A and B are shown apart, each in its own frame.
Chain A
Amino acid sequence: MVRSGDACYNWVPCERPKPSSSEVTRLSAALSRVEIASDFAPGSIQPGQYLLARLHAGWDPYLRERWQPVRFADRLMIVDRHTEAGDQPGQVVSLLGPCGKPIPIRRDAQHLLLIAQDAVPSALVALALKAVEEGRSVTLVLGGAAQAYPLDALPPEVEVLHADRDWKWPAQVDAFTWAEQVVALAPPETDFYARLWQTLNQLRIYVPERFAFGLFLPPTPCGVGACQACLVRGKRKDYLACTEGPALDLDKLAL
């Protein structure tokens, strides 16, 4: 259920990681991990779901930011934020959400292949953390700008591979055939999902429904399906990335 409300930052910016829970941890020069006190109930935000945040009382920047929580526990929400955002301790943030649907992972899918290309893989990290807790095997492939994501933010159970410029990585064929479900994240304006879908169909005899999902995270003005700015073309119908996504079955899309 989408709702709005204020939450308060419960963290202090610092230059180096601290083990304490209600602080900010700098993951890299560009990325920080922030813990935010929230009144959202534990478990109410699942991997893939997001919040629309507003940190300023004024109207600039105009649109709300999309916050993709990495983890949610004990009423603390953990979010990857660009360090350059310059957040201040004690800052109050207006949150709207949770928006969207959880990434639909099949119960019988034990081997998950997660692919991030030119995007901060927060949503995939959230999924990986949950999948590892559930005893699944996870391989995360980072390509392009996603390779800057700090690996020490990931649990050791997650196998991390790096793709080259041509979107190849060691044992790529094995990874695609090993996977029982694939979830990918790339900028929506690229043809990455079309290339992925093509590759899957070349390597596998049959690509069933609910096997390969793409995460669509375009700028989201409303988050409730009203503005129609995030519609994704489908084969039979169009999909609202903000409410029906962000994970959409590539089999159903007009790529």
Chain B
Amino acid sequence: MIELAVGGKRDLVLANPAMPAAGVFGFGDEYARLVAIDKLGALVTNPITWTPRAPASGPRVVAMTGGMLLHTGLPNPGMSRAIRQYRDVWAAFPAPVIVHVVATNLSDVHRCCAALDTLEGVAGIELGVHDQATAAEVADALREAARATTLPVIARLPLLRAPELAPAAQDAGACARWLWARRRADDARPRHRAVRRRPAVWAVDQPLALRAVGQAASQVRLPVIGCGGIHAREDARDFIDAGAVAVQVDAAIWVKPGILEEIAGELGGLDATRVAGAWPDEW
């Protein structure tokens, strides 16, 4: 068992350290026919905003050598409709549900978190931090979330700015940190037309993410969730060895849906169950 909510009012306990990353697995049980969802540590939903968001216009997916560019525009029905649509799925989901919230202002942070506070099945909130956010903005958003809900709030920090933002997240009461947001990449080639500054998925991100996890795990006492470039069981184990207590699998699920189960099976009950900061003889 892994406790992610260190010092929080409510627990966020995972039976398994493997879970999908936000934006990969859908809002509920979309993958239920391809993946044994009861083996997951948690479900992390697609991003949800307070107001509905339309899909991005123009090309959204560009396959590249060794990866792809992806820009969906974070389409979602808005928090109220999402709750109406998925509350039953979340209540019946066989693993804790962590709702990924995206907000552009403190008011939306408050409203989203308050709306989720007492929802059956929802065990935590993952707050997406924009890659341009300042440390002060991160702290303000997390404090606002803490005022609105007693649910554990996980801060998702941009990979390359994690060392800068991590202390602010810890001071503001985040219970855990997910370290990776897809890096953005420029591609202005004519054949890709409007595709510019799109979040990129590349396996080569893994070394960067591993280094960041190692730095973060030694820097703060918050549980760290590793993510970025995990494409095999060995990759996931590397993150655990680097100091993460759990891992999120990103676009690899689309290519090989079974990889999530493989990782869950590999890590379940192994070193990954060690609580962050615990001495080896304490677990």
Contacts and interface: CB of A to CB of B under 8 A. Distances in A.
Nearest to A58: B66
A228 B64 CA distance: 19
Contacts of A220: 61
Contacts of B203: 59
Interface stretch (A1-9, A27-35, A175-183, A205-213): A1-9
Contacts of A233: 54-55
B34 A224 contact: yes
Given A3-B33, A62-B255, A228 B46 contact: yes
Nearest to B26: A226
B254 interface: yes
Contacts of B55: 228, 231-233, 238
B31 A224 contact: yes
B65 interface: yes
A70 interface: no
B60 interface: yes
Interface residue tally on A, bucketed by range = 20 to 34
Contact of A228 (B72, B231, B251, B255): B72
B72 A227 contact: yes
Contacts of B257: 4, 96
Given A224-B30, A225-B30, A64 B60 contact: no
Given A62-B255, A222-B254, A1 B60 contact: no
Interface string B24-54: 1110001101100000000000100000001
B60 A218 contact: yes
Contacts of B46: 226, 228
Nearest to B20: A226
B218 to A, nearest CB: 30
Interface string B193-206: 10000000101000
B48 to A, nearest CB: 12
Residue among A61, A221, A225, A230 with most chain B CB within 10 A = A221
A219 to B, nearest CB: 4
A3 B34 contact: yes
B71 to A, nearest CB: 8
Contacts of A203: none
A contact face: mostly helix, strand, loop, or mixed = loop
A84 interface: no
B59 interface: yes
B15 interface: no
Contact of A221 (B31, B76, B251): B251
Contact of B33 (A2, A94, A231): A2
B70 interface: yes
Given A62-B64, A62-B68, A238 B34 contact: no
Nearest to A1: B33
Contacts of B269: none
A2 B34 contact: yes
Contacts of A223: 254
B67 interface: yes
A62 B255 CA distance: 7
Given A59-B203, A59-B231, A219-B60, 9 more contacts: A62-B64, A62-B68, A63-B68, A189-B58, A224-B26, A224-B31, A225-B26, A226-B25, A228-B46
24 contacts: A2-B34, A3-B33, A4-B34, A4-B258, A54-B256, A60-B65, A61-B63, A62-B63, A62-B66, A62-B67, A62-B251, A221-B61, A222-B30, A222-B254, A224-B31, A226-B24, A226-B30, A227-B23, A227-B72, A228-B72, A228-B76, A229-B60, A231-B75, A232-B55
Interface of A: 1-4, 54, 59-64, 94, 96, 189, 218-233, 238
